[in-house]
């Protein structure tokens, strides 16, 4: 099993939307990818609680059965569409993939 974790920070204004609007659009788009490819076992999209200190605006945690299922997800047209949008409105991105033992 491979866990794929991605965190983003968003611009205050980008692609014709406010930070809050773009954050919601990204959250909805990512959540819609649940079950996209065989081997995607879990997908959680998290917006941090505002009253707690945080350094990122959006978090994705996805578990895949194999490296091949992660690769299929990464190249899927629906994923690429959401990733393209996020690329237009984010100011930073951090990612880590690791094996769950």
| Matching residue, tokens 């990464």 | 74
Give which of 92, 91, 89, 94 is closest to 25, Cα–Cα. 89
| Cα–Cα distance for residue pair 52/72, rounded to 1 Å | 35
Q: What is the pLDDT of residue 55?
A: 86
Quick one: CATH architecture of 2-99? 2-Layer Sandwich (3.30)
Q: Which two tokens stand for residue 52?
A: 């707690």
Whole-model pTM: value is 0.94
Return the percentage of the chain with pLDDT > 90, whole number: 91
Looking at the predicted structure, is the pLDDT value of residue 18 above 80? yes
Within 10 angstroms of residue 33's Cβ, the number of other Cβ atoms is 20
In this structure, are residues 40 and 74 in contact, taking their beta carbons and an 8 Å threshold? Answer: no
Digit-coded pLDDT (tens) for 48-87: 987 788 889 999 999 999 999 999 999 999 999 999 999 9
Looking at 11-57, which runs of residues are DSSP E strands? Answer: 13-14, 17-18, 40-46
Q: What does the pLDDT read at residue 99?
A: 97
Write down the mean pLDDT value for the chain. Answer: 96
């Amino acid at each position: 099993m491979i866990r794929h974790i991605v965190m983003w920070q968003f611009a205050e204004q980008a692609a014709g939307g406010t930070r809050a609007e773009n954050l919601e659009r990204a959250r909805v788009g990512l959540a819609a990818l649940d079950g996209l490819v065989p081997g995607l076992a879990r997908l959680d999209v998290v917006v941090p609680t505002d009253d707690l200190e945080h350094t990122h605006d959006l978090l994705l945690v996805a578990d895949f059965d194999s490296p091949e299922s992660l690769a299929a997800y990464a190249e899927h047209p629906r994923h690429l569409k959401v990733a393209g949008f996020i690329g237009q409105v984010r100011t930073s991105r951090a990612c880590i993939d690791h094996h769950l033992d």
